[in-house]
Amino acid sequence: MKIKKLLTTYIPVLLIVLFAIGPYFWTFLSSITPEKDLYTVDFRFFPTHPTFNNYTRLFTKIHFARNIMDSLIVAVSTALIGLLITIPASYSFSRFRFKGRNIMLMQFLGINMFPIMLLIIPLFIIMKNLHLMDTHFALIIAYSTMAIPFSIWMLTSFFNSIPKELDQAALIDGCSNIQAMIRVTIPIALPGIVSTGIYIFITGWNEFLYAAILTNSAVRTIPVALQNMIGEYQIEWGLLTAGGIVSALPVIILFFFIQRHLISGMTAGAVKG
């Protein structure tokens, strides 16, 4: 039995984890290697003179901690606002049949298909007129809106996979529509809500183009800070790789604490609610 588990679980999991962290680990090795040692004719897997100098520079000279903070503020707010707007809408799409439902669902899908980079100039003008240029709020509005179409579809499908008999039972018990949604459906859909929240969070965490155009020095998210290390004639390779390593860490740690809610499932959710 143990051998079977080793073969069917541990080894496949290990392979997938290795695939996932391989390039990341390689980035890490690159970040602790002095740049000129990277370009040698004889190949070395591990650096002969490892140094953490790039990390020191990252936090003392570049103020990367501030960039992490800016990214956290933007990504967390985007996820919260995005979910707040999306949950009711998705619940409605999943639980009710009303006039215009399909058209509206298709509308959300349609705008998802259009390349958003072409919306930058109109958005720039909107933000300028609202005096929101170079604020966190500009990015939060832009990102949560960008995430809405996607999240609505995602959450609607999660709600759809929850038996409707459950909230019907609640209605029969005398709950109002709103109570049925908050007390019954949402707790059961928590894994779906959390994973959609993670999606919105990561979208905000990684987005570059809007951040580069809509903000300047008052708000500088991680992708923009990293891009600033690529110059016209030079790439600051050491800082860039160190920055890449550091910028994935907060999310990984955050996720480590949140992932438990991905397994709450039927029973746990129902009890909690």
| The one among 1, 43, 103, 271 contacting other proteins by CB under 8 A | 43
Shortest distance in whole angstroms from residue 206 CB to other proteins: 5
What x/- string results for residues 79 through 118 when contact with other proteins is judged by CB under 8 A? -x----xx-xx-xxxxxxxx--xx-xxx-xxxxxxxxxxx
Does 135 sit near other proteins (CB under 8 A)?
yes
Does 229 sit near other proteins (CB under 8 A)?
yes
Does 237 sit near other proteins (CB under 8 A)?
yes
Shortest distance in whole angstroms from residue 261 CB to other proteins: 6
Does 248 sit near other proteins (CB under 8 A)?
yes
Closest by CA to 261, choosing from 183, 205, 195, is: 195
Does 57 sit near other proteins (CB under 8 A)?
yes
Shortest distance in whole angstroms from residue 180 CB to other proteins: 11
Q: How far apart are CA 260 and CA 152, in angstroms?
A: 23
Shortest distance in whole angstroms from residue 71 CB to other proteins: 9
SS (H, E, C) 59-118: HHCCCHHHHHHHHHHHHHHHHHHHHHHHHHHHHHHHHCCCCCHHHHHHHHHHHHHCCHHH
Q: How far apart are CA 54 and CA 47, in angstroms?
A: 14
Does 7 sit near other proteins (CB under 8 A)?
no
Tokens of 52: 């953490």
Shortest distance in whole angstroms from residue 161 CB to other proteins: 5
Q: How far apart are CA 219 and CA 23, in angstroms?
A: 29
Does 33 sit near other proteins (CB under 8 A)?
no
